[in-house]
């Protein structure tokens, strides 16, 4: 079975889709460092290095040596920054957010047998027009102003049967609590069912969530990491594994947090030290952002590039191109390899029932 990869990034999804038995013919990516990463590691995949808005159906078919309708799977996750709670959440009114319509365009033009669309958890309830009032909680799933509902309506108009869900990577054996919105489409009248979880938080009926210590304790190399400044070290050295700013003595909390104390929510990402005994929190594009700190459980440093890569379950020999900040960004933006594999394997099983 063949597949086409959109918004390929550093290749996390591509690895998982390949593992599920698909031949990823083409990967489309615009970021120069990601392009170098893909080209270095995906020897059998042809990389189109271009703004996706300039990529045509004919170009994809020519490079992949496929005809319209011969694509078994089209997959990818348009940039998530416009929909993420870590950003300004400008929805489709941000240049990056509008790229979801390029995904829709290519589904319309290429007619893949199935597709996999992936984005952040918050994508589930992002509105097209943020000025419109939000419906009551009980009615919000049906809100026509939701981006996802508009997108699903368009997919259905193209003849696709749709299923969608918010999934937690940890429920499928990824050592990371990373929730993502996934939309699956098929030309068949029979929907693609989501895979059943294999792991759970309590471990009563399923295997227990995999934890950080299982992944990073015995890594052979942890050489590449960014450095904390002295102020961050002053406070982080007082935080126990699994703790955050509230673990500091009361008299130091205000000094550490300053004006950030006025922010809403639990602010649990500030001055956070990870625990070997829990899954990793969601990896972001930098392990030392003030609100999403990823301090090593024992050492006074952020997680290393190698640890980031291991948590996302990239192969040990996968090489990330660019400077250290670009490497963190590529890994933090990636889909966990195991999650991509599990979902792609479900799609493969679905396609086999159609033969």
Q: What is the pLDDT of residues 60-103, one digit of tens each?
A: 999 999 998 899 999 999 985 544 454 555 545 545 558 999 99
Whether 80 is a known active-site residue: answer yes
SS3 content of the chain, % helix, strand, coil (to 5): 40, 15, 45
Indicate which residue of 34, 80, 284, 295 is catalytic: 80
Chain segment 18-60, per-residue pLDDT in tens: 999 999 999 999 999 999 999 999 999 999 999 999 999 999 9
Distance of CA 253 to the CA centre of its chain: 32
* One domain, residues 279 and 177: no
Are residues 269 and 196 located together in one domain of the fold? no
Instruction: Give the total number of structural domains in the chain.
Output: 2
**Helix and strand totals (H; E) in the chain:** 11, 9
Inside any domain, residue 206: no
Say if 207 falls within a structural domain. no
Band of the pLDDT at 141, cuts 50, 70, 90? confident
238 within domain boundaries: yes
Q: How many CB atoms lie within 10 A of CB 197?
A: 16
Domain with residue 164: its CATH number is: 3.40.50.150
Tell me the average pLDDT of the chain: 92
Q: What is the average pLDDT across 199-205?
A: 95
Structural domain boundaries, residue 133 = 2-200+336-354
C-alpha closest to that of 340 among 29, 84, 1, 22: 22
Q: Output the pLDDT for position 38.
A: 98
Whether the per-residue pLDDT at 136 is higher than 80: the answer is: no
List, in sequence order, every residue forming a beta bridge with 167; answer none if it has no partner.
180
Domain contains 282: yes
Question: In the predicted model, what is the mean pLDDT of residues 123-148?
Answer: 83
> Three-state DSSP class for 344?
helix
Give me the pLDDT at residue 80, please: 53
Give the Cα separation of 70 and 97 in Å (integer). 29
What pLDDT score was predicted for residue 91? 47
Residue indicated by tokens 């992949």: 64
What pLDDT score was predicted for residue 95?
A: 55
Asked if residue 173 and residue 30 are part of one domain, the reply reads yes
Q: What is the pTM for the complete model shown?
A: 0.92
Same domain, 179 and 317: no
Residue 129 has pLDDT above 80, yes or no: no
Is 268 strand, coil or helix? coil
């Amino acid at each position: 079975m063949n597949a086409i990869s959109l918004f390929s990034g550093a290749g996390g999804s591509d690895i998982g889709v390949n593992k599920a038995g698909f031949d990823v013919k083409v990967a489309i990516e615009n970021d120069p460092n990601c392009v170098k990463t893909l080209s270095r590691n995906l020897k059998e995949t042809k990389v189109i290095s271009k703004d996706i808005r300039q990529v045509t159906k004919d170009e994809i078919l020519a490079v992949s040596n496929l005809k319209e309708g011969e694509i078994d799977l089209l997959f990818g996750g348009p940039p998530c920054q416009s929909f993420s709670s870590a950003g300004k959440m400008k929805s489709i009114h941000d240049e990056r957010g509008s790229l979801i319509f390029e995904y829709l365009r290519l589904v319309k033009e290429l007619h893949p047998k199935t597709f996999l669309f992936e984005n952040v958890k918050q994508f589930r309830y992002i509105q097209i027009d943020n000025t419109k009032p939000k419906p009551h909680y009980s009615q919000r799933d049906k809100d026509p102003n939701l981006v996802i509902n508009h997108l699903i309506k368009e997919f259905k108009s193209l003849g696709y049967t749709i299923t969608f869900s918010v999934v937690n990577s940890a429920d499928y054996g990824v050592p990371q609590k990373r929730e993502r919105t996934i939309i699956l489409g098929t030309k068949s009248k029979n929907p693609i069912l989501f895979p059943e979880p294999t792991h759970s938080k309590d471990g009563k009926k399923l295997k227990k969530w995999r934890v950080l210590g299982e992944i990073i304790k015995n890594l052979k190399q942890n050489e590449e990491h960014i450095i904390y400044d002295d102020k961050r070290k002053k406070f982080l050295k007082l935080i126990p594994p699994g703790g955050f700013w509230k673990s500091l003595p009361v008299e130091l909390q205000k000094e550490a947090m300053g004006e950030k104390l006025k922010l809403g929510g639990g602010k649990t990402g500030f001055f956070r030290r990870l625990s070997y005994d829990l899954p990793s929190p969601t990896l972001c594009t930098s392990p030392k952002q003030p609100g999403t700190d990823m301090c090593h459980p024992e050492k006074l440093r952020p997680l290393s590039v190698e640890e980031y890569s291991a948590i996302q379950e990239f192969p040990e020999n996968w090489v990330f191109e660019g400077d250290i900040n670009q490497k963190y960004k590529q890994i933090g933006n990636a889909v966990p390899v195991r999650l991509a594999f599990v979902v792609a394997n479900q799609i493969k099983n679905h396609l086999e029932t159609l033969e």
